[in-house]
Amino acid sequence: MKNTAFIKFHEELGAKIVSFAGYNMPVQYEGLIAEHLTVRKKAGVFDVSHMGEFWVKGPKALDFVQRVTSNDASKLVDGKVQYSCFPNGKGGIVDDLLVYRIDAETYLLVVNAANIDKDWAWCVKQGNLMGLQAGKDLYNASDEIAQLAVQGPLALKTMQKLINTPVLDMEYYTFKKLDIAGVKDVIFSTTGYTGSGGCEIYMSNDDAPKIWEAVFKAGKEYGIKPIGLGARDTLRLEMGFCLYGNDINDTTSPIEAGLGWITKFTDDKDFIDKDYLLKQKEDGVTRRLKGFEMIDRGIPRQHYEICDADGNNIGEVTSGTMSPSLKKPVGLGYLKKGFTKPDTEIYIKIRNKLLKAKIIKLPFYKNN
pLDDT, averaged per 10 consecutive residues of the chain (368 residues), comes to 97 97 97 98 98 98 98 98 98 98 98 98 98 97 98 98 97 98 97 98 98 98 98 98 98 98 97 98 98 98 98 98 98 98 98 97 88
CA angle 161, 233, 218 (to 5 degrees): 10
Q: Is there a single domain that holds both residue 176 and residue 231?
A: yes
> Which pLDDT does position 368 carry in this prediction?
56
Q: Is residue 116 part of a domain?
A: yes
Picking from 184, 214, 238, the residue at the C-terminal end of a domain is 238
Structural domain span for residue 93: 52-139
> Which pLDDT does position 306 carry in this prediction?
98
Picking from 175, 204, 238, the residue at the C-terminal end of a domain is 238
Q: Is residue 93 part of a domain?
A: yes
From the list 293, 22, 44, 6, the residue with the least C-alpha distance to 193 is 44
Q: Is there a single domain that holds both residue 44 and residue 62?
A: no
**Residue at 87: amino acid letter:** P
**Residue at 130: amino acid letter:** M
DSSP characters over 40-80:
HHS-EEEE-TTSEEEEEESTTHHHHHHHH-SS-GGG--TTB
> Which pLDDT does position 200 carry in this prediction?
98
> Which pLDDT does position 9 carry in this prediction?
98
CATH code, domain with 23: 3.30.1360.120
Domain count, the chain: 2
CATH code, domain with 135: 3.30.70.1400
> Which pLDDT does position 19 carry in this prediction?
96
> Which pLDDT does position 288 carry in this prediction?
98
Picking from 206, 238, 270, the residue at the C-terminal end of a domain is 238
Q: Is there a single domain that holds both residue 206 and residue 74?
A: no
- Nearest-angstrom CA–CA distance, 3 and 88: 30
Q: Is there a single domain that holds both residue 32 and residue 106?
A: no
Q: Is there a single domain that holds both residue 148 and residue 234?
A: yes
Q: For residue 77, with 0-12 CB atoms within 10 Å meaning exposed, 13-18 middle and 19 or more buried, which class applies? A: exposed
Q: Is there a single domain that holds both residue 149 and residue 8?
A: yes
> Which pLDDT does position 367 carry in this prediction?
74
Q: Is there a single domain that holds both residue 31 and residue 163?
A: yes
